[in-house]
Amino acid sequence: MIRVLVVCLGNICRSPIGEGLLRSQGQNRGLDLFVDSAGTMGWHAGKAPDHRSQGVMRAHGLDISSQQSRPMELEDFQKFDVILCMDQQNLTDVLKMAKGPAHVQLFVAGKDVPDPYYGGDAGFEAVYSMLDSAASNWINNWMTNSNS
């Protein structure tokens, strides 16, 4: 089993979308995968994903309404094999906390996923598209490595 944590700032916009996409694509491909998400800040702890994140996922046939925001914890570095961060600032913040074997990197190789919180619906669709493509790449990579 591959254990993956997806991280953004507040864990209500980007990381819930990433979590949902990885979980769905992993299940569709038969990959033994556990996915969770967290925020580097705990502002929204216990809250559901932003209604716009839920809306863009619903528009693509996925339901993330049961997810709950939570702050990242030191134990996450022991619990997860891979921690995928949405942008360089999240990556920097996570690496400052790093105390364990988890491999930490950007969700989208070489790119920051913009935070759509203060924008409109188009920003959420753009984030969905970026994360959908990157999630597919991750699943393909993990499928290839688990078969070798």
pLDDT tens-place string over residues 119-147: 888 999 999 999 999 999 999 999 998 76
**pTM, entire model:** 0.96
Nearest to 100 by CA among 1, 5, 35: 5
Catalytic residue, chosen from 13, 50, 115, 132, is 115
pLDDT tens-place string over residues 64-122: 999 999 999 999 999 999 999 999 999 999 999 988 899 999 999 999 999 999 988 89
Catalytic residue, chosen from 13, 14, 23, 36, is 14
Beta-bridge partners for 93: none
Residue 101, burial from CB neighbour count under 10 angstroms (0-12, 13-18, 19+): exposed
Which pLDDT value is given to residue 117?
94
Catalytic residue, chosen from 8, 13, 23, 50, is 8
β-strands 2-8, 33-39: how paired?
parallel
Which pLDDT value is given to residue 100?
87
Domains of the chain: residue spans and CATH: 2-146 (3.40.50.2300)
85 is catalytic: no
Rounded CA separation 40/91 (Å): 9
115 is catalytic: yes
